[in-house]
């Protein structure tokens, strides 16, 4: 009998516990799906309006090939938002509209065009590989709650995490400094084309040839140690004082992501502890000299290389000076006529020549040259010869080609490099870079 009473007591206590639990469950599930979404919607609206200076997001749309873009948002009410970004030199504040959208989940949707839409425009792409994809950005963000004062979103298309952190007054006033940092990193049309990444683990320095594409804000660094195949890919975002990189650079087990600009040296420096550093700076000669030019010398098999405007205009390895000279030529030509190709042929029998071809029906022009090597610089020198039309008839050098052609025929020579990437096609990419000026042209190899 005592055992039976004990069992009844246990059951009674259990039922009372379950009853309490059920009351909480009833309270929770008294709300239907719509009510829960509405509550979640109000929660997000309240958060967006709660920050005095709005919110900041550094948006890496695809850190495997694109850098980050800083956006500032000030949500003024339940409909209107002010926005600014460092996408380009225009860091002004622009007003537009947004809404909190109810679907299978709650999302923040920017409904009228503003700076965030520059990343989602498929016709606005930074590299040939991203033709039709733009910057792979989004303008609708799914709400996933808060953490440590940040709002957690996921992008609607790619489901990548994006966090909004509270902005400050300085974030707005200093945004234009991001574009200054961009200029500091990329340089001007007269700046050296060669950049070096040095890592110091406290005892050993490693050097990398640092190739940076300003349009995509993405870099690939290749070890200068010929016995090493190490490469480092870094997505870059600008700050008022330097840059941040993603993923963080690992040096001696330390993660370095924040590089500060040193105006005295022009370097970007990340500092860890115990002597660990990483430095990005410029150099007057290529960090990694190659023997690729040797395949172009007299006596070698016939080879060809061509800059093709349709596919290589946006090549990250074209220099500002080359693009400037190309535009100078095209601007001076009749409407509908422009340079289509700059094509090099080496060892066609006993001949070497550059062919300039044009759109708009203009006939091609040939410039013949001879080659010699500079073993010290590891470069090739193209020495000017005769000019001809397509029929082989000698002509005078066209005045409009002088400035571009002078760079190619630089008496100090050209560095030749087989690059480690492709553009649009499987053809190897080769660059021809002046040894004395910031001139570099990107070509397909035809071998």
The token pair that represents 139 in the structure block: 């303008």
Average pLDDT over residues 169-193: 96
The model carries a pTM of: 0.83
- The larger pLDDT score, comparing residue 12 to residue 103, is at 103
Nearest residue to 317 (alpha-carbon basis) of 221, 199, 439, 201: 439
Provide the pLDDT for residue 23: 41
Nearest residue to 222 (alpha-carbon basis) of 377, 415, 379, 419: 419
Q: Where in the chain is the domain with CATH 3.30.700?
A: 179-283
Instruction: Give the list of residues 6+ apart from residue 406 with CB closer than 8 angstroms, or none.
Output: none
Provide the pLDDT for residue 34: 75
Q: What CATH fold (topology level) applies to the domain 179-283? A: Glycoprotein, Type 4 Pilin (3.30.700)
Geometric angle at alpha carbon 269, from 68 and 173, rounded to 5°: 50
Cα radius of gyration rounded to whole Å, the chain: 30
Q: Which long-range contacts (C-beta less than 8 Å, at least 24 apart) are formed by 123-128?
A: 125/314, 126/66, 126/213, 126/215, 126/216, 126/314, 127/65, 127/213, 127/215, 127/216, 127/314, 127/316, 127/423, 128/311, 128/312, 128/314, 128/315, 128/423, 128/424
Q: What span, in angstroms and rounded, lies between the C-alpha atoms of 387 and 407?
A: 16
Nearest residue to 339 (alpha-carbon basis) of 352, 325, 350, 351: 325
Q: What is the mean pLDDT of the chain?
A: 92
103, pLDDT greater than 80 = yes
pLDDT digits over 390-421, tens only? 999 999 999 999 999 999 999 999 999 999 88
4, pLDDT greater than 60 = no
In DSSP terms, which residues pair with 134 in a beta bridge?
none
Q: What span, in angstroms and rounded, lies between the C-alpha atoms of 395 and 262?
A: 52
Number of neighbouring beta carbons within 10 Å of residue 41:
17
Residue with tokens 């349009």: 215
Average pLDDT over residues 236-242: 98
Indicate the Cα dihedral angle 140, 142, 147, 150, nearest 10°. Answer: 10
pLDDT digits over 264-303, tens only? 999 999 999 999 999 999 999 999 899 999 999 999 999 9
Provide the pLDDT for residue 168: 98
Q: By three-state DSSP, how is residue 112 classified?
A: coil
Q: Where in the chain is the domain with CATH 2.40.128?
A: 45-173
DSSP 220-246: EEEES-TT---EEEEEEEEETTEEEEE
DSSP 244-258: EEEEEEEETTEEEEE
Provide the pLDDT for residue 26: 41
Under the banding of pLDDT at 50, 70 and 90, the label for residue 30 is: low
Contact 120, 75 (CB under 8 A): no
Under the banding of pLDDT at 50, 70 and 90, the label for residue 314 is: confident
Q: By three-state DSSP, how is residue 365 classified?
A: strand
**Alpha-helical runs (H) found in 371-443:** 402-408
Length reported for the chain? 447
For 45-173, CATH number out of 2.40.128, 2.60.40, 3.30.43, 1.10.3470 equals 2.40.128
Provide the pLDDT for residue 31: 62
Provide the pLDDT for residue 37: 83
Contact 175, 255 (CB under 8 A): no
């Amino acid at each position: 009998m005592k055992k039976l009473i004990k069992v009844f007591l246990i059951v009674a206590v259990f039922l009372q516990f379950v009853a309490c639990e059920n009351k909480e469950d009833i309270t929770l599930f008294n709300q239907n799906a719509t009510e829960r979404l509405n509550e979640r919607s109000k929660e997000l609206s309240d958060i967006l309006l709660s920050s005095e200076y709005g919110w900041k997001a550094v948006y890496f749309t695809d850190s495997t090939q694109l850098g980050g873009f800083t956006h500032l948002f000030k949500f003024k009410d339940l409909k209107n938002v002010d926005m600014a970004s460092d996408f380009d030199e225009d860091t002004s504040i622009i007003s537009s509209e947004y809404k909190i959208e109810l679907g299978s989940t709650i999302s923040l949707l920017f409904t009228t065009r503003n700076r965030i839409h520059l990343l989602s425009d498929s016709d606005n792409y930074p590299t040939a590989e991203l033709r039709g994809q733009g910057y792979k950005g989004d303008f609708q963000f799914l709400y996933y709650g808060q953490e440590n004062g940040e709002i957690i979103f996921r992008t609607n298309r790619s489901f990548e995490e994006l966090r909004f952190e509270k902005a400050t007054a300085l974030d707005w006033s200093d945004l234009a400094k991001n574009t200054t940092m961009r200029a500091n990193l990329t340089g001007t049309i007269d700046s050296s084309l060669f950049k070096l990444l040095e890592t110091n683990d406290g005892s050993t320095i490693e050097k990398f040839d640092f190739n940076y594409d300003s349009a995509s804000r993405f870099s690939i660094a290749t070890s200068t140690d010929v016995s090493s195949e190490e490469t480092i890919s870094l997505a870059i975002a600008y700050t008022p004082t330097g840059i941040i990189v993603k993923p963080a650079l690992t040096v001696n087990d330390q993660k370095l992501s924040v590089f500060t600009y040193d105006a005295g040296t022009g370097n970007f420096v990340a500092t860890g502890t115990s002597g660990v550093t990483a430095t990005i700076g410029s150099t007057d000669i290529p960090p990694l000299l190659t023997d690729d030019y040797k395949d172009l010398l007299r006596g070698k098999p016939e080879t060809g290389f061509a800059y093709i405007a349709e596919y290589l205009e946006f090549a990250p390895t074209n220099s500002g000076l080359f693009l400037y000279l190309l535009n100078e030529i095209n601007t001076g030509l009749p409407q509908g006529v422009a340079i289509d190709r700059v094509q090099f042929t080496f060892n066609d029998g006993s001949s070497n020549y550059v062919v300039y071809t044009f759109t708009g029906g203009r006939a091609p022009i040939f410039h013949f040259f001879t080659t010699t090597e500079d073993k010290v610089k590891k470069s090739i020198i193209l020495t000017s010869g005769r000019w001809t039309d397509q029929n082989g008839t000698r002509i005078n050098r066209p005045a409009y080609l002088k400035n571009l052609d002078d760079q190619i025929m630089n008496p100090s020579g050209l560095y030749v490099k087989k690059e480690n990437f492709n553009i649009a096609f499987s053809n190897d990419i080769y660059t021809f870079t002046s040894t004395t000026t910031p001139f570099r042209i990107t070509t397909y190899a035809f071998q």
